[in-house]
Amino acid sequence: MTGLGPYPLEALGSAGVRDAVARWLWLVAADAELASYLIGVDRVRLAGHLALILTVALGGPAGDIARPAVGAWRGLGLTEEQHRRVVDYLAGVLWALDVPAGAVDAARRAFADEAGAWSTTLATSWSTNLATSWSTTLRYARAAADDFWCAVEERCPGRLPEREAAVFLAALGRLASGGDDPAGRAALLAVLGHAYRRHRLLPHQAAVEAALTATVARHAPGTPELAAAWAVAARRASAAVTPAVARAGGGPAWWPAEVIDHDRPADGVAILTVRPWRRLPFRPGQAVPVCTPRWPGRWRWYSPANAPRPDGTVELHVRAVGAVSRALVHAVRPGDPLWLGPPHDVGLGLDPASRADLLLVAGGTGLAPLRALVEQVAAAPAGRRVTLVVGARTFTDLYDAISLDKLQCAHDWLTLVPAFSHDPLAGAGERGDALTVALDHYRPGQEVHLCGPPPMLAGSRLRLLAAGVPADRIHLPTGPVA
């Protein structure tokens, strides 16, 4: 076999195809994220369908499935990325069975195209319908929360407190209807994982699913297909929450808080001072899911810019990027309520065992967690020297200059270095992106913590390694895991 020509199907045989499909399905079911898509799916039928497509891809007879009406996988509503992973699993199985490269490619292509645009359209319209009916439900948020709570209470009395129902429903409905990026989804799962654990709802998932679908059906009635889609979406949301419950620690799922100060120190940036009703137990460098009632159910991560304070207040730095952050920057006012979720480590915290000097490199509002680290060191300096490089486009974008100035005046172990990427008036040594300027200040032995917008983070590990920073001294934010 050359690995390029048509694959003699008889080498694998129909039993071999069935075996390949069984192994493939096993791998998909073992993938925590993909497994939820198989819930409620008739796997025997799916396996038959996959085996037929695979047979054709490997050169067997087309039968009546040469162009299936709905792609076997795509019909399940997988995202592009998830679908690619599914196809990668098949390729892995075929490699393991010594199927030659050309035939593996043919199989990949067959499943990558599965019914092409039509099935993509179907999946998209399915999720659009969920999103649309969910926004309709949210128009009656108060009544929907009451209905949802009554439905849960009827099936498992005494579990979900009535006052928590609105926030809980908003998060669950958002998770089920989709639409968040991985970080937003992780925030939802962090919050819901804690809520299910705190209210001991895990054994009652079916009741919660039924309450959600009944609530949507009441406030956004649609076709039987839409009702069925909601039932599947609710089941998937439950399946996604289950591992998050196992990961959740004790404590509340959210802390009601009040905005007590709101400042807009630079274009498109706000500094919010927030007072939780009860103390939020966070550590410097962690991130916290935040939700405003202006966008119920949309939880976003923000990093406190301070070390824990005696009065319990938390300072958030927000850059207006999308809907939630724009509301926090442009619409929220002192006196407004917010919810703060459970704090999470995101790889930026200080190693309690280390007394090494620090090089902190901030871009934009990535300053927030790094300023919190400076405040942490200020509480117990222990001879540590800290260099904080603060990146901004121009001088006027240096939004936190006053606090930074105060910190520098108060602590002789702290060196502040501004880095201006687009300021023609910047002096030598201050001109360039934050990492370029920071590398001039790197001294062996320092721990390097870096936080900033995605373009700044991309490639930064490689640049630090190339500059001689040991891998175990590089601390970059990792994606939060619920």
Ligand X SMILES: Cc1cc2nc3c(=O)[nH]c(=O)nc-3n(C[C@H](O)[C@H](O)[C@H](O)COP(=O)(O)OP(=O)(O)OC[C@H]3O[C@@H](n4cnc5c(N)ncnc54)[C@H](O)[C@@H]3O)c2cc1C
DSSP letters, 6-41, are ---GGGTHHHHHHHHHHHHHHHHHHSHHHHGGGTT-
Instruction: Please state, in angstroms and rounded to a whole number, the distance separating the CA atoms of residues 479 and 482.
Output: 10
Q: Which is nearer to ligand X, 76 or 274 (CB)?
A: 274
> Minimum CB separation from ligand X for residue 184, in Å?
6
How many Cβ atoms from other residues are within 10 Å of residue 327's Cβ?
A: 18
Q: Which is nearer to ligand X, 167 or 287 (CB)?
A: 287
Residue 330 is classified by DSSP as I
> Minimum CB separation from ligand X for residue 299, in Å?
9
> Minimum CB separation from ligand X for residue 371, in Å?
10
How many Cβ atoms from other residues are within 10 Å of residue 16's Cβ?
A: 16
Instruction: Please state, in angstroms and rounded to a whole number, the distance separating the CA atoms of residues 140 and 137.
Output: 6
> Minimum CB separation from ligand X for residue 297, in Å?
11
Instruction: Please state, in angstroms and rounded to a whole number, the distance separating the CA atoms of residues 372 and 305.
Output: 5
Interface residues toward ligand X, by CB under 6 A: 181, 183-184, 287, 300-303, 317-319, 321-326, 346, 365, 368, 453-454, 477, 480
> Minimum CB separation from ligand X for residue 248, in Å?
17
| Angle, alpha carbons 466-467-470 (nearest 5°) | 80
> Minimum CB separation from ligand X for residue 443, in Å?
28
Q: Which is nearer to ligand X, 24 or 302 (CB)?
A: 302
Tokens of 70: 């709905």
How many Cβ atoms from other residues are within 10 Å of residue 344's Cβ?
A: 18
Q: Which is nearer to ligand X, 75 or 178 (CB)?
A: 178
Listed in sequence order, the DSSP H helices in 413-470 are 434-439, 454-457, 460-466
Cβ-closest position to ligand X: 322
How many Cβ atoms from other residues are within 10 Å of residue 64's Cβ?
A: 7
> Minimum CB separation from ligand X for residue 212, in Å?
23
Q: Which is nearer to ligand X, 179 or 243 (CB)?
A: 179
Q: Which is nearer to ligand X, 331 or 465 (CB)?
A: 331
> Minimum CB separation from ligand X for residue 480, in Å?
5
Q: Which is nearer to ligand X, 101 or 320 (CB)?
A: 320
DSSP-derived pairing of the beta strands 447-451 and 474-475: parallel
359 Cβ contact partners less than 8 Å away, ≥ 6 residues apart: 387, 389, 438, 441, 442, 443, 446, 447, 448, 449
> Minimum CB separation from ligand X for residue 324, in Å?
3
Does residue 302 contact residue 189 with C-beta atoms inside 8 Å?
Answer: no
Q: Which is nearer to ligand X, 55 or 286 (CB)?
A: 286
> Minimum CB separation from ligand X for residue 82, in Å?
18
CA dihedral 204, 169, 42, 247 (to 10 degrees): -60
Residues in the chain: 482
Packing angle of the helix pair 13-30, 43-57 (nearest 10 deg):
130
Q: Tell me the C-alpha to C-alpha distance, in Å, between residue 379 and each of 308, 384, 402.
A: 11, 12, 20
Q: Which is nearer to ligand X, 71 or 477 (CB)?
A: 477
Does residue 17 contact residue 51 with C-beta atoms inside 8 Å?
Answer: yes
> Minimum CB separation from ligand X for residue 337, in Å?
18
Residue (of 422, 451, 424, 419) closest to 436 by Cα position: 419
Q: Which is nearer to ligand X, 40 or 322 (CB)?
A: 322
Q: Which is nearer to ligand X, 321 or 402 (CB)?
A: 321
